[in-house]
Structure 1
């Protein structure tokens, strides 16, 4: 269903281009009319249909762009990493069914695969026991 937001955005851009062209044509026509009528200081405002078309086109473009954006990720890293651990790659599929390109896998894998902390006291006891067994 990704084509619907794209169609809305495209339609809004076409309407916006048409409204801009209509406004330019109206300004050119108004300046030509003012030159021929020899009335100084006459100003004509933009017709209401061009203003409404501009507002509708801008809103259509905004709605199409908002509907076409991907889902936002959590701001907190631990929430995002927890989602990866719980759901895996299935939680990061886009609307077409493909895994998102920035999916890296389990972010905790480097922490889980690193060696543990060294227990100096335990190593000292083991060395002392070894030294005693060697000396006797």
Structure 2
């Protein structure tokens, strides 16, 4: 992680930590304090107004702080992600062959743990196809010579 993405993510988590306890504590206090007030005032209100007054939500500043904290955390995590690899394997393999170890470094400057070098090495080092008919013919000639 770079220092900017680390600090952005940390700031977002601090903001979220500030918003969540205050939202739950404030909400619990609000409901307990207003419950007695509602009981007295609901008896004098009509039925339609009772339903509107019965629903209370969090204050706008706490909701906004939670949303902003979530956006900041997401931004910090996105800034930390590695560069995406191409979808086509042959394009990705070509980039690895051209760049070598320098192309396999992550955002911290370390070589990725899944770096294997030339991805075509296994295909280039394997034996060619086996010609069964040729081998059968050679075996038949060998048997005749014996």
Q: By the TM > 0.5 criterion, same fold?
A: yes
Question: Relative contact order: is structure 1 or structure 2 higher (C-alpha 8 Å, sep ≥ 6)?
Answer: 2
Structure 2 unmatched runs, 5+: 43-52, 136-146
Q: Partner of 2:104 in structure 1?
A: 92
Corresponding residue of 2:3: 3
User: In structure 2, which of residues 107, 118, 121 is the aligned counterpart of residue 109 of structure 1?
Assistant: 121
Unmatched runs of 5 consecutive residues or more in structure 1: 124-136
1:83 maps to which of 95, 111, 124: 95
Alignment of 1:60-71 (within 5 A): 60-71=72-83
- What is the rounded CA distance, in whole Å, between the counterparts of 1:96 and 1:48 in structure 2? 39
1:55 equivalenced with 2:67 (yes/no):
yes
Query: What is the CA RMSD across the aligned residues, in angstroms?
Result: 2.8
SS in 1 for 2:41: coil
Which of 39, 43, 46 pairs up with 2:58? Answer: 46
> Partners of 2:85 and 2:4 in 1: how far apart?
23
SS, match of residue 91 in structure 1: helix
Residue 30 (structure 2) aligns with: 30
| 11-20 or 27-36, which deviates more | 27-36
